[in-house]
Amino acid sequence: MRNRLRTLILMSNVRYAIHPEHFKTLDTETIRKAFLLDTIFVPDRITHTYTHYDRLIVGGAHPATRDLKLETLPELKAGFFLERREIGIINVGASGVVVADGVSYPLENKDALYIGRSVKEVVFQKSAGALYYYNSAPAHHAYPTRKVTLAEADAVEAGAIETANQRTIRKLLINSVLPTCQLQMGLTELKTGSVWNTMPPHTHDRRMEAYFYFDVPQGQTVCHFLGEPQETRHIWVQNHQAVLSPPWSVHAGAGTSNYSFIWGMAGENLDYNDMDAVKPTELR
């Protein structure tokens, strides 16, 4: 049984924090290596990237033909993955089931699952079409495991068609919905004809963020902007890829079509509205 559930970790790696002054010197290839996570889903694998931005872990699970168990990582030096961590999981594929310490949680497309500290066993049950994107952060307290459906999200309508950023922001694993230690996650869906996300641009110095892009139509792409407001760069992102955003960086994107993205945050502040806005005309 244990051998069948044994997780094979692929693309295990670590991303170190980069100073904004150093960031100014980087070329395109180096920026992509430092901030782009280009392989999230691999059949029958759990991927992970351990970052030095608030110790967030970003990854994905695709249990195409076998159950996958979330094992501990060398970077954690822990007996099991959630010994000192919490995790948020959002299914961006077909329906599936995640089992946490023997309790099954069916997840439909865009449903989310929060699993708190000290849960010893997490299993992604075999499903050809389920795709689980996850973020994990250090946790000081064991909050209860809870599933949050798309219908239960704290939904906000934002933007306008005139500014090409009409969108629905769905706050799934956030303190207005359920308690967490520091992890906050949700997803944003852009309306047809809109391509800009996260406008006006902003930074938030007390937390980092990761953006995961999905529902990007075949043949289309997204340009993700990062850097200090007066020193921006960009990364071209494909479907099912993610970008890390340091606290000092803006994080915004524009696509060649409408799309969806998952935002995940970790840090010392749980206030969703704590941000330093930047006027679009002030960007450089």
CATH number of the CATH domain containing 53: 2.60.120.520
Residues of the chain with confidence (pLDDT) below 70: 1-12
Give pLDDT, residue 13.
Answer: 86
* 141 shares its domain with 156: no
Residue 4: per-residue pLDDT: 43
pTM comes to 0.94
- Give the model's pLDDT for residue 21: 96
State which of 148, 163, 192 marks the end of a domain.
148
Q: Is residue 240 part of a domain?
A: yes
pLDDT tens digit sequence for 37-46? 999 999 999 9
Please indicate, yes or no, whether residues 118 and 79 belong to a single structural domain of this protein. yes
**Final residue of a domain: which of 115, 148, 181?**
148
pLDDT of residue 1: 42
75, 111, 176, 41: CA torsion to nearest 10: 30
List, for residues 135-160, the tens digit of each pLDDT value.
999 999 999 999 999 999 999 999 99
What pLDDT, on a 0 to 100 scale, did the predictor assign at position 167?
97
Q: Note whether residue 135 is domain-resident.
A: yes
How many other β-carbons are positioned within 10 Å of the β-carbon of residue 64? Answer: 16
Q: How far apart are the first and last CA of the chain?
A: 56
The CATH number assigned to the domain holding 210 equals 2.60.120.10
How many domains is the chain partitioned into structurally? Answer: 2
The string over 207-236, giving b where at least 16 C-beta atoms fall within 10 Å of a residue's C-beta and e elsewhere, is bbbbbbbbbbeeeebbebbbbbbeebbebe
What size, in residues, is the chain? 284
Range of the domain at 268: 151-282
Same domain, 83 and 181: no
Cα–Cα distance measured from residue 40 to residue 5, given in angstroms and rounded to the nearest whole number: 20
State residue 273's pLDDT score: 80
